[in-house]
Amino acid sequence: MIPLTSSCFGYYIVKANAQQWFSMIDYKGRHCGDCLPCIIKRVSLHHANVPNKYDDYLVDVFNIFDSPIFLTKPEHSLDTIVRIADILRFCQCLLNIPIHDLIINFPDLYIFSSSVDSSKLSDMYKRYSEEVIQCFRDKSSIKTQEVFSSVLAP
């Protein structure tokens, strides 16, 4: 079931990018690897301890500095690095901010309804943030960990 899922923003151009960027003629993957849905999916699969055989992405965000795309497509790599920095900083912020500040600073994350417990919602966001940061700690290359050390350092 997992190989058939695709939430990738760039799924329709993955094969073309594989040919253009890496000279991979018969690439069978369906995920670009560096759009936000791909990153979130990788974090979720890692947290669920899904085997690495399902970790098939064209761009490896955890090893972006060791990827051929880093040298051949610097403008694309810069977008990916900014996306990684954004998600890591956002998660770090969610982990370190009190609930009342969280609601004030990120009101779009909250459902204003009497049936929704905002503290449980905050706990969910904090748990997700921990999962993202832990995944990057577990899977990232040494170079990636060094670049993002302000967030990834234990």
CA dihedral 53, 83, 140, 46 (to 10 degrees): -40
**Does residue 154 lie within any of the structural domains?**
no
Structural domain that includes position 56:
2-149
**Does residue 96 lie within any of the structural domains?**
yes
Are the beta carbons of 99 and 118 closer than 8 angstroms?
Answer: yes
What pLDDT tens digit does each residue of the chain (154 aa) get?
Answer: 555 566 776 666 777 777 777 777 777 777 778 888 889 988 998 999 987 777 777 788 899 888 877 777 777 788 889 999 999 999 999 998 888 888 788 888 777 777 878 788 888 989 999 999 999 999 999 999 999 999 888 7
Annotate 65-76 with b (16+ C-beta within 10 A) or e (fewer): eebebbeebeeb
Q: Does the model's pTM come out above 0.95?
A: no
**Total number of domains in the chain:** 1
Residue 69 tokens read as 């795309």
Cα distances (Å, whole numbers) of residue 35 to 10, 17, 87, 114: 7, 14, 11, 34
